[in-house]
Structure formats: C-alpha cells, structure tokens
Amino acid sequence: RGAAEEVENEPRLKYQRLGSSCSEILAAEAASCMVVEDKMLALGTQQGVVYVMDYNGNEIRKFDSHTAAVNDLSFDEKSEFISSCSDDGQVIVHSLYTEEVTRLKYPRPVKTVALDPKYGSRKDRQIACGGLAGQLMLNSRGWLGPKDVALHKGEGPISKLRWSGHVIAWANDKGVKIYDTQVHQRIGFIERQRT
C-alpha cells in the first residue's frame, strides 16, 4: 500500500458521540428533528417531546408538549427561547430560563417554524410557521392578544422556513421566496428548477 492510499483512508470528519442523557433518550424514543446553536442543541422526537441538551448530551430541559411528532425546532439568537411545531397543529414557544410558554393552534399539521431572532427582546414576539395548509403565517403579540397574518398562500405546502436578521425565507412547491420584515414585502423569488 502506498502513502496515498493511507491518506485516503483517513476519516474526513472527526466526531464524538453524544453521551449521557442523549444515549438514554435515543434508546427509548426516535428522533424526528434537531437544531444546533452556539450554546446548546435541541432534539425533537416522534413522541412529541423536545429535549434541550449541552454539547456533551446532558439534558438541560425537557418539554413534553406535543401529541404527535415534532417536525421542526428554532432558537432565538440568544438561545433564551425555543419553538417547536408538530403534526398536531401546534406551535409552542418555551422560555429556557423561566416558565413562560406561548401556544398557537392551527387546523392542519405545521411542518416548519422560525422565531424572530430578537424574539426575547421585542414586545411583538413574532413567530413564523407553515405547513400543509399552504400558508406562511406570521404571528405577533399585540394589544388585543396574538394575531396571525398570512404572508403567503396558495402555492402548496410550506416545507421549510428560516429567519435571519429581518429576512424570512421559505420553500414551497414553486420555489424559495424571501420576505423583508422591515419593509413588509417580498423581496425575492428563486424558482424551482424542473427536470
């Protein structure tokens, strides 16, 4: 064997398995989604449970919130709040440091969710979500309570969405759309390539 062959066999990605609570959780439940942040990670399960863990796999918080599989998770930028969505039609936001909980209920399964990156520091507490109803919903807290606004609808299920800064991007059957929350309008569209 030559030196070149030995170099090719060298692992390209070095990793370490999460231990502690994570091993116990995954022995009992099936993971359905995961999100990683600078300070921690979160795991959603098929049984509707959200686990927040440190990088060693130690459980920090557990939220037994949903009655169906957790489809997506999202932290705010300070990792003070985590949102989850599920096939049970619920979007739930938990504070990681207090007992504050926000629950939103929709008539169809919710497949994706994103918190305003500044969720914890803003009074309007915005949450974006979408799913099988084919609507991208923006929920805001106002004087009269929570209010939903459909930012987009009519092009099939919303399969994934993400929020960065003041921009929300989401994917549906037609492609990827981009919305600016400061100017309150769509600013981009990337059409899905048909093969």
Six-digit token pair at 72?
Answer: 């997506």
Task: Tell me what pLDDT residue 80 has.
Answer: 95
User: Facing residues of 147 across strands?
Assistant: 140
Q: Are 44 and 70 spatial neighbours (Cβ–Cβ below 8 Å)?
A: yes
Six-digit token pair at 44?
Answer: 């959603």
CA distances from 54 to 1, 81, 116, 125, 194 (A): 42, 15, 23, 25, 41
Looking at the predicted structure, is the pLDDT value of residue 184 above 60?
yes
Six-digit token pair at 175?
Answer: 């492609």
Looking at the predicted structure, is the pLDDT value of residue 6 above 70?
no
Q: How far apart are CA 57 and CA 122, in angstroms?
A: 31
Kindly state the percentage of the chain with pLDDT values over 70: 91
Q: Are 129 and 103 spatial neighbours (Cβ–Cβ below 8 Å)?
A: no
Domain boundaries, the chain: 3-191
Judged on CB neighbours under 10 Å (0-12, 13-18, 19+), 25 is buried
One-letter amino acid of 109: P
pTM: predicted TM-score of the whole model, two decimal places: 0.85
Alpha-helix runs per DSSP H in the chain: 3-9, 21-28
Six-digit token pair at 21?
Answer: 């609570």
Rounded mean pLDDT, 123-128: 92
Q: Are 139 and 146 spatial neighbours (Cβ–Cβ below 8 Å)?
A: yes
Q: Which of 111, 155, 108 is nearest to 133 (CA)?
A: 108
pLDDT tens track for 17-71: 666 777 778 778 889 999 999 889 999 999 999 999 988 888 899 999 899 999 9
Q: Does domain 3-191 fall into CATH 2.130.10.10? A: yes
Identify the band that residue 77 occupies on the pLDDT scale cut at 50, 70 and 90. Answer: very high
